[in-house]
Chain A
């Protein structure tokens, strides 16, 4: 079937072609550009839906193109890639709507949306990558396409943030490449294989495998914001809100975490990795990141910076879930990949709304905003409560599984980490919520814009509300087939059971 061979590539190319066209649109063709953006995002969602349906029918989707003699470019649909690609496509549509609203009347929108589309292309390529070299290719492409978005505003601050971003990510990419080539040179293959492909090899290579693991995790950990490689994330907050939403919820940090999952599951295999002894250090590092991120978040007054440190902390839950060797914890980590994405994007959308509508950037300025922007703040509340882990929201499901899984695997100390982190989360989210709903608003906001009877523009209001509802749905309907939890269970089953 021709679809089986080409659908993955089509999905990747759908946004590439849209992006290239958008680059050449004159700045004032607003309707054309908006139309193209939305059509592109919808088309991608339709194609991904089609692929999902096909996977259920039993189709094997794989695109294989020769890259080098002996190495192919492989794009494949397996449960893990479906998880990430679905997340990306859905959130992409939402972010596109938001960005159209946010950047209204901003300069250089054609350039922005062009790189935006290229960014999707890279993310989807990362999701669908079927071997390590394809992954590396799209991973580096992601770095290159997100940089122009960070420096979009053209200010000196933006340039320096971009430089910091590049310093970290290019260095990380170098480590990742070094690890990949080394692995290929020793083993002759880098295909993602269920349960990994390293366990059958000569035992004398094990020390080398540990070093390679360090290189790979180092390279991936930069994007996944593991400490001490997280510095770029906070500086990148200087970018416009849609970019922050994108980077922190969908594309960059998720690509890093996703990569770590791939390396642990499909290159090393969880049993082999545990046998090598690399999972415990990884778990400890992830746990340290969880606590550190939460601690730093407590002391930030700038809203986006607080959210940034929260991201640093939350993404490591995913890694923690994987590194705690046990299926239940793995389910928690994997499902959090989706849940954290949706919740965090909600929060960033709301932050953007506050900045755009009322000129608010600091938490100290947020007193009584709930009265002025009820819908936005309701969405924010749901997102924040989800982050803390309040049932029946999505965040609760992730933490429940993580906790259970930690006990199951005999790693009781993780419970303390989770509990401590949740307490810290409450510590930095609850006061905000209190101030928003129960404090007196100031007489005037610093930079208010009016949108008639609505609290803010439609395009800015609908996305956070939608993602907040999704957060609620993913929590309430977690046991429904096709929920993120369902997928996480499938992936874990494939990895853990013989």
Chain B
């Protein structure tokens, strides 16, 4: 058990899945599902290894850093892999029934490839490998958005592609500057050699800007709602839940491990932008008339919360933000999946005409409701734990204004989530013809929503996991 290179398998298995699905399109559904289950097993194996032996470093091909590519698994990357695995499994199950038979031939290879890129990103130990995996991720995501066809999806995908490339290039320029300054791209080595200089500040600015663009922080969020709302539902789910989190993860790694934060001005700026995102995204979500657009703007708002940890920069704040990331991934995927089921059911997703979905699709509404509970930060859910931690951090550091943003954001979220629920209970004026929703779709959404709630009841374990290895193991002293 100890010697199996789970880290490598976690990346290799989805790649094999991609090839298999691409070569045998008629069997892509069972192949994809099998690959998904396999990845979950591999992540569990890696998790066991990390818990038993501490952070793992694996040199691919036997060559080590600085010339070779290393894979590094600590508590943080493990949690990212785990949430990706759970959400990925849910999305895979959902997609088995979502697409019309025979129309999913391109979805599965692309989805498997995206998953491989994600796993590789979370395990990367140097900043250039992060660039490569980020690009792969972006290209796969764009292709998936474009799958839906139609003017909205295609233009959304085009805009997303341009934005993605811009972000990556900005990041790469930063990598170039860092390499030139310190002679290595390995994260651990950079952390060791780091010292402030104009080149480093420029690099930090460029890399952050690129990653902020990809994480859709206000005011760079404009590309997200059109792309996420017009994509096919499983794609919307994986975009909001996983893909935007990858660039945030990179930002976290860079800021916590590499960049010296001697003064807090950049942190305060990020916090401010995050706060604006929370309020702006929330207000816009409230004004939407279509469910998927509402959920997309909700993503913009929830991503804003993540950035509130930067000005506070204490262990509790980082843990709160991370916990929010995990809960949001589960909850947002569930929410999109529920919206997709509703769309499938009634042929539309106009909020005012939801027409007693509560009676007719109780499981789906339960999924949406539970996911909403986590998004609102109400107990018992992972979102509540995250909110508690962030509030505690805000009060302890004396930066109480972030606490006000958290409270207001929660109220805004409640407003738009509960608006949808209210309409779902009420009879619309015109009853719509309904199409039965396949069972896997409803249950996949509900399972992920329940996972988000369970995160609220079993918090001590993920929180303890965060402490293994860098960067929170180091931060624990703070």
Contacts and interface: CB of A to CB of B under 8 A. Distances in A.
Question: Real complex partners, A and B?
Answer: yes
Interface of A: 23, 66-69, 107-108, 111, 133, 136-137, 140-141, 143-144, 147-148, 151, 154-156, 158-159, 162-163, 166, 170-171, 173-174, 177-178, 181-182, 184-186
A174 B385 CA distance: 14
| Residue of A108, A171, A178 with highest tally of chain B CB at under 10 A | A178
Nearest to A186: B395
A159 B426 contact: yes
A159 B373 CA distance: 19
Interface residue SS majority, chain A: helix
Nearest to B458: A66
16 contacts: A68-B463, A69-B463, A143-B378, A148-B358, A154-B359, A154-B425, A154-B427, A159-B425, A163-B418, A166-B414, A170-B414, A174-B411, A177-B387, A177-B391, A178-B403, A178-B407
B395 A170 contact: no
Given A151-B426, A154-B426, A178-B407, 6 more contacts: A67-B459, A68-B459, A69-B463, A141-B379, A166-B414, A174-B407
Contacts of A177: 387-388, 391, 407
A137 B422 CA distance: 23
B410 A174 contact: yes
Contacts of A182: 395, 403
Contacts of A185: 391-392, 395-396
B318 to A, nearest CB: 14
Query: A-B pairs with the 3 shortest C-beta distances?
Result: A185-B395, A137-B379, A181-B391
A140 B381 CA distance: 11
Contacts of B205: none
Interface in B386-417: 387-389, 391-392, 395-396, 403, 407, 410-411, 414
Nearest to B463: A69
A166 B460 CA distance: 30
Contacts of B358: 111, 148, 154
B362 interface: yes
Contacts of A140: 378-379
Contacts of B427: 154-155
Contacts of A136: 379
Interface in B306-334: none
B423 interface: yes
Nearest to A134: B379
A353 to B, nearest CB: 27
Contacts, number: 91
A405 B139 CA distance: 75
B57 interface: no
B427 to A, nearest CB: 5
B426 A156 contact: yes
Given A154-B427, A155-B427, A162-B422, A184 B392 contact: yes
A184 B358 CA distance: 38
Interface in B337-385: 356, 358-359, 362, 373, 376, 378-380, 384-385
A148 B359 contact: no
Contacts of A144: 373, 378
B411 A170 contact: yes
Nearest to B369: A144
B382 to A, nearest CB: 12
A248 B184 CA distance: 68
Contact of B411 (A143, A162, A171): A171
Contacts of A178: 391, 403, 407
B97 to A, nearest CB: 21
B322 to A, nearest CB: 14
Interface in B25-61: none
A478 B376 CA distance: 45
B418 A166 contact: yes
Contacts of A154: 356, 358-359, 425-427
B426 A181 contact: no
B392 A181 contact: yes
Contacts of A156: 426
Contacts of B419: 163
A364 B384 CA distance: 48
Nearest to A178: B407
A133 B379 CA distance: 10
B411 A68 contact: no
Nearest to A185: B395
Nearest to B397: A185
A241 B356 CA distance: 22
Nearest to A68: B459
A181 B395 contact: yes
A159 B414 contact: no
Contacts of A68: 385, 388-389, 459-460, 463
B425 A162 contact: yes
A185 B392 CA distance: 6
Nearest to A110: B362
Contacts of B423: 159
A170 B463 CA distance: 27
A111 B362 contact: yes
B422 A173 contact: no
Contacts of A173: 378
| Residue of B358, B378, B389, B391 with highest tally of chain A CB at under 10 A | B378
| Residue of B392, B426, B464 with highest tally of chain A CB at under 10 A | B426
A254 B178 CA distance: 62
Given A140-B379, A170-B414, A181-B391, A151 B396 contact: no
